[in-house]
Amino acid sequence: MVIVNRCQISISTSCPREWSDNMKLCIPKKGTVVDDVMWSVLPPMPKKFHDPKYKAKPKGVANRNGGIDWIRNHATEGVFYMADDDNTYDIRLFDEIRKTKTVSFFPVGLTTSYGLSTPILKDGKFSGWYDGWIANREYPVDMAGFAVAVPFLLTRPKAVMPYSAGYEETGFLVSLNISKGDLEFLADNCTKVSYNND
Ligand X SMILES: *[C@@H]1O[C@H](CO)[C@@H](O)[C@H](O)[C@H]1NC(C)=O
Question: According to the annotation, is 86 in a ligand binding site?
Answer: yes
Q: Which is nearer to ligand X, 153 or 186 (CB)?
A: 186
Q: To the nearest whole angstrom, how small is the minimum distance from the Cβ of residue 189 to ligand X?
A: 4
> In the bound complex, which residue of the shown chain has the CB atom lying closest to ligand X?
124
Q: Of these, 189, 192, 193, 194, which contacts ligand X (CB under 6 A)?
A: 189
| CA pair distance 29, 69, nearest whole angstrom | 16
Q: Which is nearer to ligand X, 10 or 189 (CB)?
A: 189
Residue 123 binds to ligand X (criterion: CB under 6 A): yes
Q: To the nearest whole angstrom, how small is the minimum distance from the Cβ of residue 162 to ligand X?
A: 33
Q: Which is nearer to ligand X, 127 or 136 (CB)?
A: 127
Q: To the nearest whole angstrom, how small is the minimum distance from the Cβ of residue 120 to ligand X?
A: 12
Residue 127 binds to ligand X (criterion: CB under 6 A): no
Q: Which residues pair with residue 25 across a beta bridge?
A: 2
Cα dist. 106→8, 10, 21, 35, 188 in Å? 24, 21, 24, 29, 9
Active site residue 169: yes
Size of the site for ligand X (CB under 6 A): 4
| CA pair distance 138, 34, nearest whole angstrom | 37
From the candidates 77, 96, 138, 169, give the one annotated as an active-site residue. Answer: 169
* DSSP secondary structure of 109-174: ES-TTTTEEEEEEETTEEEEEE-S--TT-SS---GGGEEEEHHHHHT-TT----S-TT-HHHHHHH
Residue 188 binds to ligand X (criterion: CB under 6 A): yes
| CA pair distance 184, 176, nearest whole angstrom | 14
| CA pair distance 55, 165, nearest whole angstrom | 9
**Helices 168-175 and 61-74 sit at what angle, rounded to 10 degrees?**
30
Residue 95 binds to ligand X (criterion: CB under 6 A): no
Q: Which residue positions form the known binding site for Mn(2+)?
A: 86
Catalytic residue numbers? 169
Q: In the complex, which residues of this chain contact ligand X (CB under 6 A)? A: 123-124, 188-189
Binding residue numbers: 86
